[in-house]
Structure 1
Amino acid sequence: MLRRARNPEGRMPLRAHLVELRNRMLVSGVAVLVMGVVGWVVYDPVIDELVRPIVAAGVVNDMDIELRFGSPTESFDMRVKLSLWIGLVGSSPIWLFQLWAFITPGLTRKERWYSIGFLSAAVPLFLAGVALAWFVLPNAFIFLTSLNPEEVGSLFDFSLYVGFVTRVALFFGVAFLLPVVMVALNLAGLVRGRTMLRAWRYAIVLSFVFAAIASPTPDIVVMFTLAGPMLGLYLVAVGVALVVDRRRDRRNALGGLDDDEASALEDDAYDVRPAAPLEPADGTPAGDEPARRAPRA
């Protein structure tokens, strides 16, 4: 079972954490395999799309480009690997949800709805990263093949070529998921928004380093194409974390209660208990005062 037992303190022993991690990884793995079967079925049209960038590069540079398998069994290995890659992309809503549910335990009711709403952006962000890689790859291959000497064609190993394309696409997709992970760590109480904001210099450097590693070419335009959206998403994640911290600090100031619970201050403000009667100055016990006559008109 993946559902946590209700715990008012939001704590779990280490063994329970490991069991939950195993179960969530199992669900994610099954989802990848199921979508991998779909990838096996749609293998041929996907291969046609993967080959299109390198074919376009050959047409633009007016050169012969060939893709070949190196061994008789390589075609089968390639079909299995590409099917699993399609399964990984296609099952992204499931394994992203499992990752989020494991990182963010013990949230209040409103924070759960808030996190689910932000999680709905994780899948589009991941797919947007993959789509951006697909936009960059044709220009990357045009640049790389243009470095060949004249009258010299290119012969590529098909497995290496497909592995290169899928690896770059996954790099771009994971880069777009980093803001979701940042917000998840903030909701879990591990990192505050101000801490993320103070690290903006490191964020800029790491974004460009990651973009330089993930970019298939040394072209500065391609590097900025990846680093720019990463920095924009980083700022969005910091803004969301600051809002969450403000709400959490306000709740802690009221006694650490949940958003849907009344605080002690609110209870005291509406206290309707009758006040104790005042004791007369002459020492007569309260409640034993003589009846007072009404003043004459």
Structure 2
Amino acid sequence: MSPAKQPDDPGAEQPFVSHLIELRDRLIRMSIAILVVFLALFPFANEIYTFVAAPLMAQLPDGNTMIATQVAAPFLTPFKLALIAAIFLSMPFLLYQFWGFVAPGLYKHEKRLATPLLISSIILFYVGVAFAFFVVFPLIFAFLSASTPDGVAMMTDISAYLDFVLALFFAFGIAFEIPIATILLVAAGITTPEALASKRPYVIVGAFVVGMLLTPPDVISQTLLAVPMWLLFELGIVLSKVLVRKRANDTDEEPDPDASGNAFSPAAPAGPVGGSTSGRVTPRSEMREVGRDLDPHFDDPDRWQPLSESEMEAELDLIEADEITGAPRSSESDAAPTLQATATEAAHAINSVEEKIRRANRLRELGSTFAARTVLYEVLEEGDPDQRRVARNILSQLDEA
């Protein structure tokens, strides 16, 4: 298998050209899938259009039929519908190919969240389309048929009807994705379930505005879109609370690295555990011997090494003390005036970076790892060496989570 097709390869980062080749291959597969489904559906294009037009045909007055006002419409309209139906039915495979291209760039915890969201988004879109076809269309067309003035024959053009129903299919399909959008906003740390719940009145009004814009000008269709949007918003809040609670429980159940026999912990045992060599934790001295063989600069005091939880807390306390006193930790007496002036000028920047470190820790405790990483990357750009060291250690712990 070529390097571009090894999504789980733990090795080096793939070159850009390999990603382009993989993207090309997946686009070709997606196109072939759509073509195969289209070729299977095209012989039944007229029957498919008749099925889609059934809600309107059932409401037309006796003797009225649909018409084609363009020369090629009797052929092109069913052709267009068959192509769109092929894309619609191929959507799970298309999204699977998209996921196969994106997944290698995600962390394990991101994959665990994205997989159920991807599957549920497909299901919700199909449910939205089915709701529009079986519930909304009969009510809309019954209303429109009853509203036809006397002396006017209701004979809808087949192309106009197809455009109309496709717009409603898309509107209801997207509207049913509201729970997914809600969960993503909470998972990214952009908002919280409580904040979303406090915006409920605005969401209800917005749902009716969207229903007014996307549906025909009647109260029935507007309500049939607005009410499900509101209920799905409430469902998204409930699921978001479950997600936050689960993340909090997972955080509480995580073992303390200093108490778990971590090889990088100063308190790591040097002997076998439970009398079995299979459970033996490598002592720090042996790790140093191996490290010297692999890296000549292993004992370099300036070489960065991960901190334990206690060491990280000590670093944070020292940085906070430096912030309060305004004096650098390792300053010489003859350079104190200059460093004091520099610290005074940089006090605002230090406060900002320190606040970002605290914010990243709070986000990590809440389970919002994506938002925590974003803040830590800012610390790496703006902070001093000590602050960057703390940020790197927090990032390494997030990678191991």
Fold-level similarity (TM above 0.5): yes
- Aligned pair count reads 260
1:151-230 pair list within 5 angstroms: 151-184=151-184, 186-187=186-187, 189=188, 191-194=190-193, 196-219=196-219, 221-230=220-229
1:81-126 CA-partner distances (Å, limit 9, x unpaired)? 10122012212223344566749952435x6345433433333311
- Say whether residues 1:87 and 2:86 are aligned partners: yes
2:43 match: 41
| 3-state SS, counterpart of residue 156 of structure 2 | strand
Structure-2 separation of matches of 1:250 and 1:12: 36
Aligned residues of 1:193 and 1:239 also touching (Cα < 8 A): no
TM normalised by structure 2 equals: 0.53
Query: Which one has more relative contact order, counting CA pairs under 8 Å at least 6 apart?
Result: 1
TM-fit CA distance, 1:160: 0.9
Please say which of residues 49-58 and 125-134 is displaced more in the overlay: 49-58
| 3-state SS, counterpart of residue 119 of structure 1 | helix
TM-fit CA distance, 1:132: 1.1
Structure-2 separation of matches of 1:210 and 1:14: 41
Change (3 A) 1:15 1:202: farther
Structure-2 separation of matches of 1:202 and 1:15: 47
| 3-state SS, counterpart of residue 57 of structure 1 | coil
TM-fit CA distance, 1:167: 1.9
Structure-2 separation of matches of 1:264 and 1:126: 43
2:394 match: none
Structure 2: unaligned runs, 5 residues or longer: 272-401
Structure-2 separation of matches of 1:20 and 1:190: 32
Aligned residues of 1:172 and 1:214 also touching (Cα < 8 A): no
TM-fit CA distance, 1:130: 0.9
TM-fit CA distance, 1:133: 0.9
**Aligned residue identity for 2:260:** D
Aligned residues of 1:168 and 1:216 also touching (Cα < 8 A): no
Aligned residues of 1:38 and 1:83 also touching (Cα < 8 A): no
TM-fit CA distance, 1:46: 1.4
Structure 1: unaligned runs, 5 residues or longer: 275-297
Please say which of residues 82-91 and 23-32 is displaced more in the overlay: 23-32
**Aligned residue identity for 1:167:** A
Structure-1 separation of matches of 2:216 and 2:40: 28
Structure-2 separation of matches of 1:201 and 1:130: 26
TM normalised by structure 1 equals: 0.68
Structure-2 separation of matches of 1:144 and 1:227: 19
| 3-state SS, counterpart of residue 72 of structure 1 | coil
Change (3 A) 1:154 1:205: same
1:283 match: none
Q: Let me know the Cα RMSD of the aligned residues.
A: 4.0
- Say whether residues 1:141 and 2:147 are aligned partners: no
1:50-98 CA-partner distances (Å, limit 9, x unpaired)? 2222221124xx5x43322223322232132101220122122233445
TM-fit CA distance, 1:211: 1.9
- Say whether residues 1:236 and 2:226 are aligned partners: no
Aligned residues of 2:168 and 2:214 also touching (Cα < 8 A): yes
1:239-264 CA-partner distances (Å, limit 9, x unpaired)? 3334434555666789xxxx7xx651
TM-fit CA distance, 1:151: 3.5
1:264 match: 257
Aligned residues of 1:39 and 1:82 also touching (Cα < 8 A): no
1:292 match: none
TM-fit CA distance, 1:166: 2.1
TM-fit CA distance, 1:27: 5.1
1:271-293 CA-partner distances (Å, limit 9, x unpaired)? 6569xxxxxxxxxxxxxxxxxxx
**Aligned residue identity for 1:152:** V
Structure 1 or 2: more helix by fraction: 2
Change (3 A) 1:190 1:40: farther
